[in-house]
């Protein structure tokens, strides 16, 4: 698979982050409903939708725009902290992992280019 534009070397790391994030955001649904008295439909739509979006984005990482879209997804997941306050912290942790993956991917791409 030798092409002019090689695949992002951090693609597996991005996919792993998104998969773990999908699990965590899905687990926020029962917390929102039972502990924080958020409407079940709202919690399911927001958190469930973001969990599905994480999994779909993991499958779309072969496209160059997917990392930017994944970055937007990170911001949306941090915003779920308004529904489940613990998600502010968890969203920032996943955002930091995402930023680290971007940095590592660029570093690996630079090494591959040599």
Q: What is the pLDDT of residues 44-68, one digit of tens each?
A: 999 999 999 999 999 999 998 999 9
| DSSP 8-state assignment for residue 99 | H
pLDDT tops 80 at residue 6: no
CB atoms within 10 A of CB 26: 17
User: Rounded to two decimals, what is the model's pTM?
Assistant: 0.89
- pLDDT value, residue 4: 44
| 73 close to 56: Cβ distance less than 8 angstroms | no
């Amino acid at each position: 698979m030798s092409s002019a534009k090689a695949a992002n070397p951090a693609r597996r790391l991005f996919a792993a982050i998104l998969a773990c994030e999908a699990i965590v955001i899905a687990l926020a649904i029962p917390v929102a409903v039972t502990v924080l008295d958020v409407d079940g439909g709202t919690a399911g739509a927001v958190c469930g939708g973001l969990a599905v979006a994480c999994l779909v984005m993991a499958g779309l990482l072969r496209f160059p725009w997917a990392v930017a879209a994944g970055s937007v997804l990170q911001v949306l997941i941090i915003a779920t902290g308004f529904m489940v306050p613990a998600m502010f912290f968890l969203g920032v942790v996943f955002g930091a992992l995402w930023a680290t993956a971007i940095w590592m991917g660029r570093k690996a791409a630079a090494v591959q280019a040599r």
